[in-house]
């Protein structure tokens, strides 16, 4: 097996492939590997298209491919997939050995190649359509580009799109940042930096006058009576909304349209119809939902659409105490970690006061995606509904089976509802531990309830209640017999 290491771009692959063909290396005799970081200095991270590794260019051979295949290879090379270079080499190898079917969509490899190229072309089109540059405040001591855009392309189309913008934006300096690299135009020259993930999120949050005008215009063109959500989402898929200045307006405009003009028009007609009321148990009324293999792919309810990511748990999976919160908040949604925002900081204080530490307890939430509504530029927390709690119980039940804690602390009403699988009153459960899941359950306030108190005294009172509940949890965990060996997940 020959290992070929290339930089992660088409030109490097092409040079290496011509060498490999020259040596008669069959696809199955090669292991394609990508050099993780461009060598040494920062300077070299700014690559130009011609840069290839000398080591990967043994005795190149000439290959004549059709124009169509050349374009397909070049486009498919931008498709994000770890096996792309091996696959493209297989295509080239078959072509070189006279197997012309490989370029046809009727062939299995050909079909895959066409699919990849098509997906990349779509990603290019999307990038041109949905990148939004925002003007930066001038007068900063640090020299920054005049315009900055944040975008999350589906494939490696940054360099291609950057060329496009470079030709159209004259001498203005700009920068497009993405999770995997950045393009910078200094007014004369394009610089590309390709990294496996830039540190942090370079989304920019500045608004200029033009943007305010654009938002006002966008709002004014929206006709609630003619809302067609399916068409709207088809033309501007939801995953792009968060990168668009107008993106935060859309959910609110849709919900206003639904609860406003359009509903008014329908309500009287619908209300006039006679009907039958059929009582159904809440769990029977749930739709059949799929069983996703990982939290990232969970589509059991719609909350994933507007969330950055699903947020799982933290803490040891053999913890004696499990704390269940409601759902991730704004900061948890961005960081992917539970309880890292203001409520999390308060919770940490309560945990410490109870004689515990965060890394001793298992922290999770009843609902794993952030539910929010736009308020100006902010994302305001929205309490999850019964349907979302029910959909997400799939994950909580798994966690309960795996961790099998001696004590479960429900932080707030949503957590208690999820734990007891039905709407219950938090107040009725506040004072005494109860039996649940073969151990003890304790209900207390959610730390954000403390945050909402008007004055320090009331806030301290709620915080003291939470730490007392956690202290009770610690005592119960210490006195309960440890459970027998836990099953591996
Ligand atoms: N509130 C919660 O319920 N959970 C978190 O993770 C953060 C805030």
Q: Annotate 97-153 with DSSP letters as a single string.
A: TT-GGGGSTTSHHHHHHHHHHHHHHHHHHHHHHH---EEPPS--SS---SEEEE---
Q: How far is the CA of 326 from the centre of ligand 1 (A)?
A: 6
d(CA 88, CA 73): 7
What's the chain's average pLDDT? 83
Please tell me the distance between residue 241's alpha carbon and the centre of ligand 1 in angstroms: 24
Q: Pick from 223, 446, 159, 183: which is nearest to 327 by CA?
A: 446
CA distances from 199 to 54, 175, 179, 340 (A): 30, 16, 8, 18
Sheet with 407-411, side-by-side order of all strands: 362-365, 321-325, 407-411, 439-444, 434-436
φ, ψ of residue 84 to 5 degrees: the values are -60, -40
Q: Tell me the pLDDT tens digit for each residue of 222-243.
A: 676 667 777 777 777 777 776 6
Structure tokens at 134: 């925002």
Measured CA distances, 359 to 319, 402, 440, 444, 484 (Å): 9, 17, 20, 20, 22
pTM higher than 0.85: no
Atom of ligand 1 nearest to the CA of 338: 6
The two structure tokens encoding residue 236: 């501007």
> Which tops the pLDDT comparison, 20 or 221?
20
Separation of CA 452 and ligand 1 centre (Å)? 14
Residue of 307, 313, 325 to test ligand 1 pocket, by largest number of atoms within 8 Å of CB: 325
Rounded Cα gap, residues 379 and 397, in angstroms: 29
Assess contact for 227 and 262: CB atoms under 8 A. Answer: yes
Closest CA to 321 of 404, 402, 395: 404
Beta strand 321-325 pairing with 362-365: parallel
pLDDT at 42: 37
Cα separation, 290 vs 273, in Å, equals 34
Which pLDDT belongs to residue 236?
72
Query: How many CB atoms sit inside 10 A of residue 230's CB?
Result: 7
The tokens for 427 are 């107040």
In terms of DSSP H, where are the helices of 288-446?
A: 330-335, 342-353, 386-403, 413-420, 426-429
328 close to ligand 1 (CB < 6 Angstrom): yes
Please say if the pLDDT value at position 381 is more than 50.
yes
Fold adopted by 295-479: Uracil-DNA Glycosylase, subunit E (3.40.470)
* Residue whose pair of structure tokens reads 């200045």 in the numeric block: 245
Query: Domain locations in the chain?
Result: 2-127, 131-194, 209-263, 295-479
Tell me what pLDDT residue 397 has.
Answer: 96
Is the distance from the beta carbon of residue 338 to the nearest atom of ligand 1 less than 6 Å?
yes
Rounded to the nearest angstrom, the distance between the alpha carbon of 471 and the centre of ligand 1 is 20
Amino acid 483: pLDDT = 54
Confidence label for 1 from pLDDT (cuts 50, 70 and 90) = confident
Eight-class DSSP state of 480: S
What's the CA-to-centroid distance between 256 and ligand 1, angstroms? 27
- What is the CA 203 to chain-centroid distance, rounded? 14
What pLDDT score does 149 carry? 87
36 against 458, higher pLDDT: 458
CA 275 from chain centre, in angstroms, equals 42
pLDDT tens readout for residues 37-72: 554 443 333 223 233 444 444 566 788 899 999 999
Instruction: Judge if the beta carbon of residue 327 lies within 6 A of ligand 1.
Output: yes
- Predicted confidence (pLDDT) per residue in 142-199, tens digit: 567 888 888 889 999 999 999 999 888 777 888 898 888 888 888 888 888 775 444 4
Angle at 370 (CA atoms; ends 364, 374), nearest 5 degrees: 155
Can you tell me the distance from the alpha carbon of 106 to that of 112, in angstroms, rounded to the nearest whole number? 10
Which atom, in ligand 1's list, is nearest to the CA of 366? 3
Cβ-proximal residues to 419 (8 Å cutoff; 6+ apart), any chain: 324, 366, 396, 408, 410, 436, 437, 441
Instruction: Count CA atoms within 13 Å of residue 148 on its CB side.
Output: 18
Q: How far apart are CA 5 and CA 2, in angstroms?
A: 10
CA distance 182 to 196: 11
User: In a mutational test of the pocket of ligand 1, which residue from 344, 419, 450 has the highest number of ligand atoms less than 8 Å from its CB?
Assistant: 344
Structure token digits, residue 37: 């970081």
399 C-alpha to ligand 1 centroid (Å):
17
CA of 369 to the centre of ligand 1 (A): 10
Buried-exposed string 240-260: b where 16+ CB fall within 10 A, e elsewhere = bbeebbbbbbbbebbeebeee
Query: Between β-strands 439-444 and 434-436, what pairing exists: parallel, antiparallel or unpaired?
Result: antiparallel
Percentage above 70 pLDDT, the chain: 78
| Ligand 1 pocket test target in 329, 363, 369, 447 with most atoms within 8 Å of CB | 329
pLDDT, residue 416, reads 97
Tokens 């496009």 locate to 164
Q: CB–CB of 441/435 below 8 Å?
A: yes
The pLDDT score that the predictor gives to residue 482 is 64
Distance CA 387, CA 302 (A): 10
* Residue in this structure with the two tokens 């792919």, named with its chain if needed: 297
């Amino acid at each position: 097996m020959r290992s070929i290491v290339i930089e992660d771009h088409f030109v490097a692959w092409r040079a290496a492939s011509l060498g490999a063909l020259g040596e008669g290396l069959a696809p199955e005799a090669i292991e394609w590997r990508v050099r993780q970081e461009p060598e040494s200095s920062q300077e070299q991270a700014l690559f130009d298209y011609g840069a290839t590794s000398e080591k990967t260019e043994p005795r190149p051979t000439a290959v004549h491919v059709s124009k169509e295949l050349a374009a397909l290879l070049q486009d498919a090379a931008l498709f994000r997939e770890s096996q792309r270079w091996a696959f493209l080499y297989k295509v080239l190898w078959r072509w070189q050995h006279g197997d012309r079917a490989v370029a046809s969509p009727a062939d299995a490899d050909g079909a895959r190649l066409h699919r990849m190229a098509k997906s990349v072309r779509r990603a290019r089109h999307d990038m041109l359509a949905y990148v939004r540059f925002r003007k930066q405040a001038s007068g900063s001591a640090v020299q920054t580009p005049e315009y900055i855009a944040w975008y999350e392309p589906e494939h490696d189309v940054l360099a291609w799109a950057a060329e496009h913008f470079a030709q159209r934006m004259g001498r203005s300096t700009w920068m497009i940042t993405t999770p995997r690299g950045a393009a910078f135009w200094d007014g004369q020259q394009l610089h590309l930096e390709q990294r496996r993930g830039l540190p942090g999120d370079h989304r920019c949050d500045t608004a200029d006058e033009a943007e305010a005008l654009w938002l006002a215009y966008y709002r004014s063109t929206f006709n609630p009576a003619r809302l067609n959500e399916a068409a709207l989402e088809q033309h501007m898929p939801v995953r792009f909304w968060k990168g668009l200045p107008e993106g935060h307006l859309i959910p609110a405009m849709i919900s206003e349209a639904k609860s406003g003009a359009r509903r008014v028009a329908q309500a009287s007609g619908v209300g006039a119809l006679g009907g039958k009321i059929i009582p159904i148990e809440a769990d029977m009324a749930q739709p059949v939902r799929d069983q996703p293999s990982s939290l990232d792919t969970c589509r059991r309810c719609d909350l994933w659409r507007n969330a950055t990511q699903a947020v799982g748990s933290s803490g040891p999976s053999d913890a004696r105490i499990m704390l269940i919160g409601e759902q991730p908040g704004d900061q948890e949604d961005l960081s992917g970690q539970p309880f890292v925002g203001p409520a999390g900081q308060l919770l940490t204080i309560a945990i410490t006061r109870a004689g515990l530490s965060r890394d001793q307890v298992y922290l999770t939430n009843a609902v794993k995606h952030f539910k929010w509504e736009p308020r100006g530029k902010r994302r305001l927390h929205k309490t999850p509904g019964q349907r979302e709690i029910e959909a997400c119980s799939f994950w909580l039940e798994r966690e309960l089976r795996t961790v099998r804690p001696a004590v479960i602390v429900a932080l707030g009403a949503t957590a208690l509802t999820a734990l007891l699988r039905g709407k219950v009153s938090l107040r009725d459960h506040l004072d005494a531990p109860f039996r649940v899941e073969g151990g003890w359950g304790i209900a207390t306030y959610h730390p954000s309830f403390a945050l909402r108190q008007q004055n320090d005294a009331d806030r301290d009172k709620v915080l003291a209640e939470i730490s007392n509940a956690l202290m009770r949890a610690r005592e119960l965990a210490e006195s309960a017999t440890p459970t027998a060996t836990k099953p591996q997940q």
